[in-house]
Amino acid sequence: MALHLPPRICRTLTSRAYSTTVSSPAARLNLPVDYRATPLLHHSATSLFSTPEFAKAKGPTKRINLYQAINSALRSALAESDKVLLFGEDVAFGGVFRCSVDLQTEFGSERVFNTPLTEQGIVGFAIGAAAEGMKPVAEIQFADYVFPAFDQLVNEAAKFRFREGATGANVGGLVVRMPCGAVGHGGLYHSQSPEAVFTHIPGLRVVMPRSPSQAKGLLLSAILESNDPVVFMEPKILYRAAVEHVPVDAYTLPLSKADIIKPGKDVTIISYGQPLYRCSQAIAQAEKDMPGVGVELIDLRTIYPWDRPTILESVRKTGRAIIVHESMQNAGVGAEVAATIQEHAFLSLEAPVKRIAGWSTHSSLLYEPFNVPDVARIYNAIKESLEY
């Protein structure tokens, strides 16, 4: 991220101890993510169209960042269906992360609007609108503040279709967006990734994109195609940092389908969101240091219900699995993935399944670089798994 800042700010940042990108001067592994060079982003239209999911895509592309991709998806959704509504705290002027910029001007204050400052109210309101056939896209300003709406999400949104049964009523049109994840200096309440608390709730779909092109396709799927309520989590550190070629026209990407970013034969790494970039760096270094080794990198994309067949097929092939996520290890997504691998691919395993995750502590200000999975820990996991 520091690379994108004007030089003056860049100097200030790197001299501070509370940035995720700070590393030891001698560091070989824990280097800042270079978003301009990472293979995870499509730096050209050719690269974008060479991936299977975009192979059939046509039309112009534009280099945009993640918040612009979210904005583009929201614009497409609002234009596509007059059932789509967009609301939350400070959404009208464009949002505190600019995701809804210009949308009120284009689509009117009846469809894009501010709500009072009440998370339980926002989600409750959205559930009611969805029950009456609308496609509300509610924004929670930070995932850290979704907890007041937990009751509405868990007891109401998730169970709505189930308890209505044959009446047919449901809130499938509902999408709840929220910025999540570490951002370098977010401390306790601007850093959390509460996806695991939602993956324990049958009835909700939990999605987290890794890049602008993924974000646009997955968000459009969540809004226009999914008939189940979706919790859509946006890694806020990528809002401005991740820039790539994205199709200008609307398109969707399938939910509950993992994406094999990089094939490999020796170890499978399963991750989602921002840590994928660190996984990619760790893999590059590991493959350089251990010639002949091939690591497979898989983006879960939809964290629940997740794509078990793709992960199991990969682990049966490689015999080794590492799960990487930012939120804490205890009862995190990694626990479920690891248990499923152990149950269904036991005979293929050559080493214990490893979990590289946030420690079982809170996301505190100073210690973020030591808490979120870094390149060194992922690199070490690859090495230890192979050497087991």
Partner 1 sequence: MLLRGAVNSRVHLLTRNAPIKQLQCLKPRLWSRSVSVSQAPGSDHVRFPGAVNSKFTSQMRFARPSDQATIDTYRVMDSDGVVVDKSWSLDVDNDEVVRWYKDMLTAVSVMDGIMFEAQRQGRLSFYMVSAGEEGIAVGSASALTPDDSVFCQYREQGVFKYRGFTLKDFMSQLFANKDDPGRGRNMPVHYGSQKLKTYTISSPLATQIPQAAGAAYALKLQSLRDPDIPPRVVICYFGEGAASEGDFHAALNVAATRKCPVIFLCRNNGYAISTPTLEQYTGDGIASRGVGYGINTIRVDGNDILAVRAATQEARRLALEDGGRPVLIEAMSYRVSHHSTSDDSFAYRARVEVEDWKRRDNPISRLRKWMELRGIWSEELEKTTRADIRKEVLQAFKEAETEAKPPLSSMFTDIYEELTEEQEEQRRELRRIIEKYPEEYDLHEFDGGIKGL
- Please list the active-site residues: 119, 190
d(CA 70, CA 339): 33
Judged by CB under 8 A, which of 93, 359, 367, 370 binds partner 1?
A: 93
d(CA 299, CA 302): 9
* 164 belongs to the binding site for partner 1 (CB under 8 A): yes
* 15 belongs to the binding site for partner 1 (CB under 8 A): no
CB of 192 to partner 1, least distance (A): 13
d(CA 317, CA 266): 8
Q: In 10 A of CB 27, how many CB atoms?
A: 13
* 94 belongs to the binding site for partner 1 (CB under 8 A): yes
Q: What is the DSSP string of 97-111?
A: TSTTTTHHHHH-TTT
Judged by beta carbon, residue 170 or residue 285, the one nearer partner 1 is 170
Q: Within positions 187 to 216, which residues make up the interface with partner 1, using CB under 8 A? A: 189-190, 202-203, 205
Q: What is the DSSP string of 287-314?
A: HHHSTT--EEEEE--EEES--HHHHHHH
Judged by CB under 8 A, which of 68, 146, 156, 314 binds partner 1?
A: 156
* 117 belongs to the binding site for partner 1 (CB under 8 A): yes
Q: What is the DSSP string of 265-282?
A: SSEEEEE-STHHHHHHHH
* 36 belongs to the binding site for partner 1 (CB under 8 A): no
Judged by beta carbon, residue 59 or residue 168, the one nearer partner 1 is 168
CB of 125 to partner 1, least distance (A): 4
Q: In 10 A of CB 386, how many CB atoms?
A: 16
Binding residues with partner 1: total (CB under 8 A): 71
Judged by beta carbon, residue 108 or residue 352, the one nearer partner 1 is 108
Q: In 10 A of CB 16, how many CB atoms?
A: 10
The amino acid sitting at 347 is L
Q: Within positions 231 to 260, which residues make up the interface with partner 1, using CB under 8 A? A: 236, 239-240, 256
* 71 belongs to the binding site for partner 1 (CB under 8 A): no
**Contacts for 193 with CB less than 8 Å, ≥ 6 apart:** 143, 180, 181, 182, 233, 273, 325, 326, 327, 358
* 115 belongs to the binding site for partner 1 (CB under 8 A): yes
Q: Within positions 282 to 301, which residues make up the interface with partner 1, using CB under 8 A? A: none
* 16 belongs to the binding site for partner 1 (CB under 8 A): no
Helix (H), strand (E) at residue 113: strand 112-114
d(CA 191, CA 200): 20
Judged by CB under 8 A, which of 29, 41, 45, 130 binds partner 1?
A: 130
Judged by CB under 8 A, which of 4, 11, 16, 36 binds partner 1?
A: 4
Judged by CB under 8 A, which of 66, 180, 183, 242 binds partner 1?
A: 183
* 159 belongs to the binding site for partner 1 (CB under 8 A): yes
